[in-house]
Amino acid sequence: MAQTDEDDPLSWARDYTPILAAYQAEYGETTPLDGYTIAFASHLETKSGVAIETLHEAGADVLFAPSEPQSTHGPVVDALDAREGITAFAWEGMTDDEFDNAQHELLEEEPDFILDDGCELIAKVHAEHPDVAANVIGGGEQTTAGITRLEAMEAEDVLQFPVYGVNDTPMKHFFDNVHGTGESSLTNIAITSNSIIAGKDIVVCGYGYCGRGIANKARELGGKTIVTEVDPRKALQAHMNGHRVMDMDEAAEAGDLFISATGNRDVIRAEHFERMDDGVILANSGHFDVELDLDGLEELAEKTTTPKEGVTRYHMPDGRRLNLLAEGRLVNLTGPYSQGHPAEVMDTTFAMMFVAAYDMLVDDPELEPGLYNIPDRLDREVASMKLETLGLSTEKMIESQRAYGEEWEHPDSSF
């Protein structure tokens, strides 16, 4: 019997991921990934579920594990694991140790290709399963934190296979990081805290792609935004975009809501917590839960309570209460109501991951081990497809325009 909306947890997300649907329709016939086993690590929820089923429809056996222990949606895992050719190394409510062990168990199955999030599988296969790494054909990495680790691996010359830095493409940066993280972080902060963005002094730490999305959208909602940055050009950009720019000491005293999105650690720490007002809200949107110094916060507090699901309240000896959302983990993915990025945005990110695997496995560019930018033509192809699914058309250059771009003398101009 065909599945209904009620018993198919991917049904809703599928409607909002038209590029993946198009790949399923096209490659479901030809199964170009037949014979390959692909390891897939991601936050396990409905959109990544559609990505996993797309790889499977295209012929691959898929082994999947979470990239964060707390962001797994059990019904999605169970529905995928029930299909032949898809194996879960995940369940909802995993401990950190179980998360770690499951990734090792997955790698022992000797995947041919690794699509990663945070470089968890790629780092582990190199560090602890070198025999498996030696036979991996290639990989793709979808997030900034993972690229940072891959750059460190590349600098040490330890990478055993080529990896496409899917994160570092315009299609990922400009849509997933800016709009996806921007919207979903603010939505989840508002829902978890049941408080308003408008009128609040909102401190955004980091003005990279994610921080820019969060800060600009917070201001559009009526927030009075403050940006902290270590990079002077980013700080200047934030200033010219109308945000107040200050260092963390000053921002700690000014903010009502703090959101970190740097990919760095100890961005907000004890000396800053000590300056904050009673009732402030603290959230992290960066990949790892080290952006806020939680050990420092714990040491300062005399006790913690849970005034609301998803909120840990730290009681300071002087009576101030600091409210931490989602235990300092990714607020848009691990809070009690979190569903991650909007599906339309993940459609493009997972399409880029799909083409990364397709390009290396099927088109075989014969790359040496190392970290590579994904070819620009693939990025453009995904952009064109997204526009097509949205029913939008672009201008086509006429011949005289193409020629104009190629000449330097410009004989027709009047000056």
Ligand X SMILES: NC(=O)c1ccc[n+]([C@@H]2O[C@H](COP(=O)([O-])OP(=O)(O)OC[C@H]3O[C@@H](n4cnc5c(N)ncnc54)[C@H](O)[C@@H]3O)[C@@H](O)[C@H]2O)c1
Q: Is 145 in the site for ligand X (CB under 6 A)?
A: yes
Total binding residues toward ligand X, as defined by CB under 6 A: 28
Site for ligand X in 327-356 (CB under 6 A): 330, 332-333
CB nearer to ligand X: pick between 11 and 237: 237
CA–CA gap between residue 16 and residue 18 (Å, rounded): 6
Stretch that binds ligand X, among 4-12, 30-38, 257-265, 403-411 (CB under 6 A): 257-265
- The answer to whether the CB of 263 falls within 8 A of the CB of 286 is yes
What one-character-per-residue DSSP string does 13-47 give? HHHT-HHHHHHHHHHHHH-TTTT-EEEEEE--SHH
Which residue is at the shortest CB distance from ligand X? Answer: 208
Q: What is the DSSP letter of 211?
A: H
Give the number of other CB atoms < 10 A from CB of residue 304: 14
Q: Looking at 109, 151, 231, 274, which residue binds ligand X (CB under 6 A)?
A: 231
Residues 6+ apart with CB under 8 A from 299: 270
183: phi then psi, degrees, rounded to nearest 5? -70, -45
Closest CA to 355 of 64, 45, 55: 55
* 229 known member of a binding site: yes
* 286 known member of a binding site: yes
Stretch that binds ligand X, among 49-57, 125-133, 202-210, 388-396 (CB under 6 A): 202-210
Q: Is 372 in the site for ligand X (CB under 6 A)?
A: no
CB nearer to ligand X: pick between 64 and 207: 207
* 212 known member of a binding site: yes
Q: Looking at 208, 223, 310, 335, which residue binds ligand X (CB under 6 A)?
A: 208
CA–CA gap between residue 45 and residue 65 (Å, rounded): 11
- The answer to whether the CB of 8 falls within 8 A of the CB of 79 is yes
Q: Is 264 in the site for ligand X (CB under 6 A)?
A: yes
CB nearer to ligand X: pick between 61 and 176: 176
Q: Looking at 22, 230, 254, 270, which residue binds ligand X (CB under 6 A)?
A: 230
Q: Is 270 in the site for ligand X (CB under 6 A)?
A: no
* 400 known member of a binding site: no
- How many Cα atoms occupy the beta-carbon half-sphere of 29 within 13 Å? 5
Q: Looking at 48, 54, 181, 216, which residue binds ligand X (CB under 6 A)?
A: 181
Amino acid identity for residue 262 in this structure = T
What one-character-per-residue DSSP string does 282-336 give? EEE-SSSTTSB-HHHHHHH-SEEEEEETTEEEEEPTTS-EEEEEGGGSBHHHHST
CB nearer to ligand X: pick between 165 and 263: 263
Site for ligand X in 396-415 (CB under 6 A): none
Stretch that binds ligand X, among 158-166, 191-199, 222-230, 396-404 (CB under 6 A): 222-230
Q: Is 290 in the site for ligand X (CB under 6 A)?
A: no
Q: Looking at 122, 186, 210, 361, which residue binds ligand X (CB under 6 A)?
A: 210
Q: Looking at 162, 263, 310, 328, which residue binds ligand X (CB under 6 A)?
A: 263
* 332 known member of a binding site: yes
Query: H helices of 83-207, where?
Result: 96-107, 120-128, 130-133, 144-155, 170-171, 181-193
140 has which bridge partners? Answer: 115, 164
Q: Looking at 143, 188, 312, 323, which residue binds ligand X (CB under 6 A)?
A: 143
Q: Looking at 9, 139, 211, 255, which residue binds ligand X (CB under 6 A)?
A: 211
Q: Looking at 67, 70, 285, 323, which residue binds ligand X (CB under 6 A)?
A: 285
The two beta strands, 61-66 and 257-260, are unpaired
- The answer to whether the CB of 225 falls within 8 A of the CB of 241 is no
Amino acid identity for residue 342 in this structure = P
Q: State whether residue 131 is helix, strand or coil.
A: helix
Q: Is 182 in the site for ligand X (CB under 6 A)?
A: no
* 210 known member of a binding site: yes
Binding residues: 208-213, 229, 285-287, 332, 341
- Residue ranges of the binding site for NAD(+): 208-213, 229, 285-287, 332, 341
Binding stretches for ligand X (CB under 6 A): 143-145, 177, 181, 205-211, 228-231, 234, 261-264, 267, 285-287, 330, 332-333
